[in-house]
Structure 1
């Protein structure tokens, strides 16, 4: 696995992204060029490979996560290290549980079990019979980038051939809307690989510190960079500047 002095090198073997009205690579390139907007509503991923009994229990948030994960790995069965990240997790499901408590109603064990932050990663491991280590990340506004740094660091530190990185967030319930920025529903699945001599490579590095404001949606900023001809993208984690460069 090669490592350059300017950062950690890796490749994106496959990128799968989903947002309302923007799903295919062609649509995402059109979006990145400013030619295709998001829709207010859209049909959710079909997830035909997931058994109907299990599929009916999935929330919209879970469906987007699993769609990105399964498509990025082309429904690979077996062990594959993974990192799942989300700022809010399945907040709509969690909000329903909080309302049940406030109204002194009984809580559903199933709903509670599916509301925790690592629930989707657990479901993915069950569907794919994956026994490899899986992490669940939550890091506020920087959840996308922290998760990506974690995945790339694991790829290098553990000398892996591949690792799956999945990020997803769903628009928060109305009762929380005043506490967050202009967030969008989006899911991203990246199959990361150790660098080889074929295809485009990425270099990730830290460029120092800043007192600037964190982006409102790092996932969308990344997709704009990935699906455009731009060669470099800089964002931040707290006061640190992080850079991705295409080579």
Structure 2
């Protein structure tokens, strides 16, 4: 096993179908309940005008990120951030390709603006007046793990709290047939090199090989995990919700896993 990075998790955020907040997700898990009606991502950190025009991918990322930073009790203006996504906004990508192929003169400047992979990071940093570093990470189906490794390394190297937000939406058009993303999901963590006020300790070590995704064993959670690349982080989020000391493996690249040890105080 490679030497482990030791970090602490200080904030968590989540938006899932039928569980629009981290607190709602924790309640469902505690009660062995079933998800309710799906609500639009609140994205309350964004100004009203931005919320109205922002695409689904931005709303998802901002919703989860806002929850995590609020839970950590931090000022987002000073928190470096990493936004991870396997496919970005597939609906806009499909629109762009269709329009360019059929009527390129009708391309919407707003849609073009929102098509770039770092659009959620841009909306977030502008809305929160964040001047700390921001990154947009893509690692295909392993994007959650790739983003987690990036955020963890940054937190240790710079000795700063770091926000990770991972999000994806359903595929549209031909992309719907080419990708594994069939539904929306976003999860977020605030990682810290310091233990004060932390929810849990996380030890992370890169390991060669990919062991593959394991079933959670609960129908609605397994359905979410298989519907969205960013939901590969659900086993970690589930361990945090249950406050359960757990060992996990999460893919971070082709041929590379992260071994995760999640620990809680007695």
Q: TM-score, normalised by structure 1?
A: 0.86
Distance 1:202 1:213 in 2: 21
| Higher helix residue share | 2
Aligned twin of 1:71: 67
Q: Which moved more, 1:234-243 or 1:123-132?
A: 234-243
Q: 1:78-130: per-residue Cα shift (whole Å, max 9, x none)? A: 22211000001111112111111121242122211111000110111111111
Distance 1:53 1:182 in 2: 28
Aligned twin of 1:12: 9
Q: Which moved more, 1:99-108 or 1:144-153?
A: 99-108
Distance 2:63 2:23 in 1: 18
Residue ranges of structure 2 left out of the alignment (5+ in a row): 215-225
CA RMSD of aligned residues (A): 2.5
Runs of 4+ in 1 over 6 A off after TM superposition: none
Distance 2:117 2:181 in 1: 22
Distance 1:196 1:211 in 2: 30
Distance 2:209 2:97 in 1: 38
SS at match of 2:7: strand
Written as runs of structure 1 = structure 2, the 5 A alignment for 1:1-247 is: 6-29=3-26, 32=29, 35-38=32-35, 42-74=38-70, 76-105=75-104, 106-160=106-160, 162-181=161-180, 183-196=182-195, 199=198, 200-206=200-206, 208-210=207-209, 212-213=211-212, 216=226, 217=229, 218-228=232-242, 229-236=244-251, 237-247=253-263
Note the C-alpha offset of 1:214.
Answer: 5.8
Contact 1:19 1:38 in 2 (8 A): no
SS at match of 2:12: strand
Distance 1:90 1:135 in 2: 16
Number of aligned residue pairs: give it. Answer: 240
Residue ranges of structure 1 left out of the alignment (5+ in a row): none
Q: TM-score, normalised by structure 2?
A: 0.80
Distance 1:178 1:24 in 2: 29
